[in-house]
Amino acid sequence: MKKAKASLAVLLSTSLLFGCAQEKEGTKPADDNAKEASASKLDDVSSEYREYAIGEIEEFVDATEEFTTAVSAGDIEKAKELYAPARMHYERAEPIAEVFGDLDPKIDAREGDVKDEEWGGYHRIEMGLWEENTTKGYEKYADQLMSDVNLLRAKVETVEVTPDLLITGAVDLLNEVSTSKVTGEEDRYSHTDLYDFVANVEGAEKIYELLNPALKEKDAKLAAEIQQRFDDVYGLLEKHKEGNGYISYTDLKESEVKELSQAIDALAEPLSQIGIVTEES
C-alpha cells in the first residue's frame, strides 16, 4: 500500500498537459500540428496502458477469488501457495489500483498502517496463514477482501489515465520496491517480498515499453540505457528464482539485498528522465 499519496496525477485532465495546443486553434502556428500529433500519440499510449491495467485487475479478481475460497475452505496450504502470485497482479497495476484511496488500504494495508480494528485485506490474512498457521477466524477477512476487490474492478473503469500518471507511475513503482519490498517489510510474515518486487518492476517496464517509441525519438541513448538497466535487474532476480516463483526474502544475503537495491536505484535514475517525452521535438 502506498500511504495516502492519492494520485493527483489522475485527477489532472489531459488538457492541463496539452492545453496550449487545444486553446490556440484560431491562430495556430505551424508547429502546433507537431505538438498535437505528439500529444495524441501520448494519449494513445495512455489508453493502451489503461487496457493493460484493467487486464491485470481482472486477473487479480480471479486470483483473489481462488485465494479467498481457499481461506474460507480452511485449506491453509493452498491459500499459502496462492497468496504471492495473486498479489502480483495488484502490484503490477499499482499506479491505477492505488488511485482509490479508500480501497487500497482495505486491500493492501500492512499491520500498523491503519487502526488495528480496521485492519483487513491480504496482509491480515497473511499474518493468519504464516504467523498463526490458521484460517480460522479469517473467513470474514476473506469475504471482505473479495468484495473490496470486486468493488475495485468496478471502479477502475472510471479511471482516466493521463500521460502524467504514466510518467510518475513508472518511477513510483520502483520507489515502492526501494522503500518496502527490498527491505522485506511488505510481506513480513510470508517473506514473499520478491514476488511483489518482480511485479512492481514488470509494471514499470510495461510503462517504459509503451513510452519507448516516443522516448526513442527524443533520446535513443536514454532509451537504450533504461533497457540495459531493466535487463540488469532481471538478471539479478533470475538468481533468486525457485521453481515457478522466488526464494524467501529471509534467504537473501545482506549483500544480495544491497545489490538488488542498488540495481533498482541504477534503473530508476534514468527512468526518472522519461518525462522528456512530453517535450516538443
- Spatial distance between the Cα atoms of 136 and 169, rounded to a whole number of angstroms: 38
Q: Which amino acid is at 229?
A: R
- Spatial distance between the Cα atoms of 83 and 2, rounded to a whole number of angstroms: 19
Site for another protein, residues 95 to 134, rule: CB under 8 A:
none
Site for another protein, residues 240 to 269, rule: CB under 8 A:
262, 265-267, 269
How many residues make contact with another protein (CB under 8 A)?
27
Among 56, 164, 172, 193, binds another protein (CB under 8 A): 164
User: 151: exposed, middle or buried (C-beta count within 10 Å: 0-12, 13-18, 19+)?
Assistant: middle
- Establish if 76 lies at the interface with another protein (CB under 8 A): no
Cell numbers that stand for 229 in this block: 538497466
Among 1, 10, 21, 260, binds another protein (CB under 8 A): 21
What residues contact 89, with CB distance under 8 A and at least 6 apart? 56, 57, 59, 60, 63, 199
Q: Which amino acid is at 111?
A: E
Among 25, 116, 238, 279, binds another protein (CB under 8 A): 279
What is the smallest separation between the CB atom of 41 and another protein, expressed in angstroms?
11
What is the smallest separation between the CB atom of 165 and another protein, expressed in angstroms?
11
Strand partners, 272: none
What is the smallest separation between the CB atom of 172 and another protein, expressed in angstroms?
13
Start-to-end C-alpha separation, the chain: 37
Strand partners, 242: 245
Helix (H) or strand (E) holding 5: none
- Establish if 20 lies at the interface with another protein (CB under 8 A): yes
- Establish if 11 lies at the interface with another protein (CB under 8 A): no
Cell numbers that stand for 11 in this block: 485527477
Nearer to another protein, 95 or 105 (CB): 95
Q: Which stretch binds another protein (CB under 8 A): 67-75, 78-86, 198-206, 272-280?
A: 272-280
CB 122 within 8 A of CB 77: no
Q: Which stretch binds another protein (CB under 8 A): 19-27, 54-62, 64-72, 134-142?
A: 19-27
- Establish if 276 lies at the interface with another protein (CB under 8 A): yes
Nearer to another protein, 107 or 207 (CB): 207
Site for another protein, residues 204 to 233, rule: CB under 8 A:
225, 229
- Spatial distance between the Cα atoms of 9 and 46, rounded to a whole number of angstroms: 13
Among 3, 8, 19, 220, binds another protein (CB under 8 A): 19
What is the smallest separation between the CB atom of 199 and another protein, expressed in angstroms?
23
Phi, psi of 73, deg, nearest 5: -85, 0
Nearer to another protein, 147 or 281 (CB): 281
Go through 74-105 and write b for each residue having 16 or more CB atoms within 10 A of its CB, e for each that does not.
Answer: eebeebbbbbbbbbbbbbbbbbbbbbbeebbb
Estimate to the nearest angstrom the gap between the alpha carbon of 199 and the chain centroid. Answer: 7
Among 1, 2, 10, 18, binds another protein (CB under 8 A): 18
Summarize as ranges the residues that interact with another protein (CB under 8 A): 16-21, 35, 38-39, 163-164, 167, 225, 229, 262, 265-267, 269-270, 272-273, 275-276, 278-280
